[in-house]
Chains A and B, each alone.
Chain A
Amino acid sequence: MTDREVLDRLDHVGRMLADARGLDGVRVRCGAWLLRTTLERAVVALVCADDPSATRSMHALLLRLPKHVGDDVAADTAQLWHALRRAAHHHDYEIAPTADELRGWHEDTRWLSGALLAAQPLLLPRPRVESASRRHG
């Protein structure tokens, strides 16, 4: 669980978005999936840092999140995770998300995972997180 993994994933999605013409339904969902795991990893990294045996259920982790970051970031993280979950997973009927939606999620994930990682107590290389305009959606 490293910052590197998080950043790598964000970069992958960023590359996918850079050439949006090739983004069909599968690849957009693929991107959403990557963003979701990115966010999950960031949450796990923060919440489980001092308790490696903690549950890995995202529902439970998201509930514990406000103890580690501000309420706003926690709420936004929960909201984004649910959106990504809906887009990428767990529904037997599904409509593929659009490239625009993916772009928004990418921005949000970049910002939130940055905020989550920044809140880690022990930090070696603090990840470089670009300040990006927040997007909701």
Chain B
Amino acid sequence: MAVAGTGLHGLMLSRVARDRELTPRAAELVIAACRGEAALNRVLDGVVAEDAPEAHPRRSLGAGIYLAGVRVRGFRGIGQEVDLPLVSGPGLTVVTGRNGSGKSSFAEAAEFALTGNNTRWTKSLNEVWRQGWRNLHSPEDASVAITLVRAGGEGATTIRRAWADGDDFTGGTWTEQTDGREPEPFDQARWRSALETYRPFLPYSELGKSLEGKPSELHDAVHSLLGLEAITDAQNRLAEHRKRLADVVARPHDRRAKVREELAASPDGRAQRAAELLGQDHPDLDALADLALGTDVGAGGMPLLLRVTELAPPSAADVARCLEELDAALAGVAAVATDGAQMCLRTSEVLRVALELHEAKGNKSCPVCGIGVLDQRWFTATTKRAETLAAAAAVLHDAGTRLDTATAAARSLCTPVPELFKEVDGLLHTEAVRAAWAVWAECSTYEDPVKLRTDLPERHAAVLAAVDALKTAAREQIDKRDLVWRPMALALFEWHSQAERALADQQVLADVTEAENWIRRTAARLRSERIAPFAKESQRIWQRLRQQSNIDLGTVHLESTGHDNRRVELDVSVDGKPNSALAVMSQGELHAMALALFLPRAVVDESPFRFVVIDDPVQAMDPAKVDGLAQVLADVGLTRQVVVFTHDDRLTEAVRRLRLPATVWEVCREEGSAVRVRRCDDPVDRYLSDARAMRTTEDLPEEARAELVASCCRAALETAGDMRFRQVRLARGQPHAEVEQVLEQALTTRQRLALAVFDDPAENRNLLSYLTNTLGAWAVGVLNACREGTVSSYDGDLLALIRDTERLTNWLREE
């Protein structure tokens, strides 16, 4: 944003860059906080700041913005459209009008058109205020528009808020139109910061409340005068995050004892373990996570129970397969194991040994029978026979081997009783399963395959049933424990998440706290830096405003020792005695003080606005202060456009009397809310122009017309005389009230002119001769005509009377 970029934002950037002690992360946070909530969130989330909004740099507001006019229709006291033209340049403009003339409607409209806000409306608790914003006499559509020009700029810009029939006050369309271009939607954000920082509107309601409210409100008001809200906002943003983070960081700590207590009270092993973990100074978060998520089932039998559920006795399929093989082997053996086969086997063995003997020893007598001879013939025959016998024996042997294998396989299924049963004994009833399994394991020692085959199925079934029963019991136990554990696990998990976040946020908290403290320190320094010139200017303005007030304004400073303890310290002294209480001030003095505090900000050089709109500053001020005010406003008017709305004519009077350069507009409300704005000249000129207007008024009878013209001329003369007298006396230092008192005692026109000419009411007698000598007889003629004409109708030339009156008033004013 242009203003923030060159103003506060840039200031903060340069300060951040200069500060060596600030950590980079905290510096980043400070800058982000100054940019706004979104930027701060981005930095806190660790998103690399792409600065998307900065990619479209806003058009600068430019500098030297003046008001060129306010145009209002159907808004508040104003019916049909009416324009308040303003000279867009430095100078004082006073807009005056009676209560209800619509003058304040202009002030409110101007503020509302530009800021979308008006304290009287938006902060009003009373709904009536908000509902009655439409003018009753032109209910269809309403609009407020403000025209701005930039010094050396591209032409006028009109910002308009328009409401169609039925639109709510907060609705309507808001457009911005530069000369020669189409209206575009009003870019509120572009203006907001400048309008907040250098707020060029100061309504009465704010003047009044600014010094009367709570100390903190005054502080904020003065603080906002300093235009440091952006920093306060940044500080508040960081403070909010700091609070949030502190909460996050503290929460696991606060909750730890409670969670731990609950866990410790539970018999569950996991809970016990978790409680133990939580009891450590720095709990092992990973272990806790494992516990909570169930990866670590903890101690206390839970793993045993789980192992029980995972227990896998030989499956029925395995057993069935073994039994099948055993059956087949048994059947094979039964088929070949006849007596002949046995005989064959044995004979074959004998023959094989005999053949070996023959081979080794050659022909020999038979060692078995001792009769026969083992010769070559025997050998041949026996070899043949032995081969036949061996073949027959091999079948039998194979069947035996198969049976052995099958038996071993079956026996191997009968594993010993698992150790687990012993371990789990305390948790579950294992007698049955252990007995069943022991009987089953016994089978492994069986030599007899047939017996094995008989016992195995039955015992296996018994084991399976017992194990299943045990598993069911274990599962029941687990479920029972989980029912207790699950909520605890959830709580533990939640605590764990919090603790992890806290751990992660701990550093962020430190950074944010550092950034916040830095901003606070910097803000305090900036405050005192900024307020110094303001305080000086305020003192200067107060000097002029206070006139006879015995209250002296010393330095102004802001005290802020925390969010709830903010106040403004005004070094006020009464009759030279220090007294910091504002209570000694009157209402008018408070207003004057508020103005003294406000004006310096609105006219600060950095502000893009070269105008100040002040609504009703005069109320409650005494006449002397009004003089001071007029002077202060005219002073400001040398370099700024000052637009003052007032229902109080004393300001106009003071401006005239002090001969301060000012343009005065008068607002009149006529029938049907038709509001008319007209230039209000010098009162003498107005009497004269009234006289001219009355002279040409047609629907008046001749004598009434003459009388009115004469009255106007007389009023013009008296006014010119009074002005001169006031000027002389007040310039001499005579108090206001005394001057007015003298004037009140002069009753006739002649007495008043004598006061003006001789500065002495006693010189009344010499007036006519003095006038004749100095100016000529015509002057006395005018005087007489004016006096007579108001009593009986004047029958001379009215035009000549007006012309001569003008001559005489000019002489009175210039003399």
Contacts and interface: CB of A to CB of B under 8 A. Distances in A.
A72 interface: no
A23 B670 contact: yes
A38 B668 CA distance: 25
Interface string B692-708: 01100101110010011
A93 B669 contact: no
A109 B670 CA distance: 21
A90 interface: yes
A23 B668 CA distance: 11
A79 interface: no
A99 B239 CA distance: 58
A57 interface: yes
Nearest to B694: A30
Interface residues of A, number: 32
A122 interface: no
Contacts of B669: 98
Contacts of B139: none
A68 interface: no
B96 A95 contact: yes
A91 B652 CA distance: 12
Contact of B97 (A16, A26, A59, A95): A95
Interface stretch (A7-15, A111-119, A129-137): A7-15
Contact of A98 (B98, B653, B723): B98
Given A12-B700, A92-B719, A93-B652, A34 B668 contact: no
Given A26-B690, A59-B747, A98 B711 contact: no
A37 interface: yes
Interface in A1-54: 8-9, 12, 15-16, 20-21, 23-27, 29-30, 33-34, 37
Interface string B543-566: 000000000000000000000000
Interface in B58-88: none
B694 A26 contact: yes
Contacts of A12: 699-701, 704
B723 A92 contact: yes
Contact of B653 (A15, A37, A90, A93): A93
Interface size class of B (residues with CB under 8 A): 35 or more
Contacts of A26: 689-690, 693-694
Contacts of B697: 27, 30
B97 A8 contact: no
Interface string B649-663: 110110010000000
B686 A94 contact: yes
Given A12-B701, A30-B708, A33-B708, A96 B666 contact: yes
A117 to B, nearest CB: 18
B791 to A, nearest CB: 7
A78 to B, nearest CB: 16
A93 B680 CA distance: 10
A92 B671 contact: no
Most buried by A among B96, B683, B690: B690
Contact of A90 (B656, B689, B708, B718): B718
Most buried by B among A8, A30, A99: A30
19 contacts: A8-B701, A9-B704, A12-B701, A12-B704, A23-B670, A26-B689, A26-B693, A29-B690, A30-B690, A30-B697, A34-B704, A34-B708, A37-B707, A37-B790, A90-B715, A91-B649, A92-B683, A92-B723, A98-B668
- Please provide the 9 A-B residue pairs with the shortest distance between their CB atoms, ordered closest to farther: A93-B653, A92-B719, A20-B671, A93-B649, A92-B683, A26-B693, A93-B652, A26-B690, A95-B98
